[in-house]
Amino acid sequence: MIRILFADDNRTMQENIRDFIAAEADMLVAGQAGTGRLAIELACRDEWDVVLLDLTLPDQSGVETLKEIRRCRPLLPVLIVSGFPESQYGAKVILAGANGYLAKERIPDELVPAIRALMQGHNYLSSKRAHPAAETPA
């Protein structure tokens, strides 16, 4: 079972993600956080296979949260899920240590493939565009 931690302060988005994941027999949103601090606490305390992390959280940015998660879990795959366009932030978050970026508008088509890509050790950016930064070195 792929255990997912999802950090987003929007309750509707939390429910939507949970619904998309529930359709997959081998995936489970096993934890949710509405703040960066709680996301860090849960990510560092419990075992997860993937973290889905919003770029904007009420107490700190997703990038700040990502950096703190990296301190305690350097190898934990983190997918940034954001309402901002990938062209604006995709490469930046990969360089900051994320394993991928998915614009929220792409969730219905790409969330599950993105999680599966991360589980296979690949980075992920939208399938709509080719990104050299999205490939994990061999």
Q: What is the pLDDT of residues 45-69, one digit of tens each?
A: 999 999 999 999 999 999 999 999 9
How far is C-alpha 29 from the chain's CA centre?
Answer: 12
Coil, strand or helix at 137: coil
116 band by pLDDT with thresholds 50, 70 and 90: very high
Task: Over range 101-113, report the average pLDDT.
Answer: 94
Task: Over range 20-47, report the average pLDDT.
Answer: 97
C-alpha–C-alpha distance, residues 95 and 99, integer Å: 9
Q: What is the CATH number of the domain that holds 123?
A: 3.40.50.2300
The amino acid present at 49, given as its one-letter code, is D
Coil, strand or helix at 62: helix
Would you state the pLDDT for residue 18? 94
Contact 124, 79 (CB under 8 A): yes
Task: Over range 96-108, report the average pLDDT.
Answer: 94
Q: CB atoms < 10 A from the CB of 92, how many?
A: 14
On whether the pTM is more than 0.85, the answer is: yes
Number of domains the chain is built from: 1
Query: Facing residues of 103 across strands?
Result: 82
Would you state the pLDDT for residue 127? 60
Kindly report the CA angle at 46 between 11 and 60, in degrees rounded to 5?
A: 50
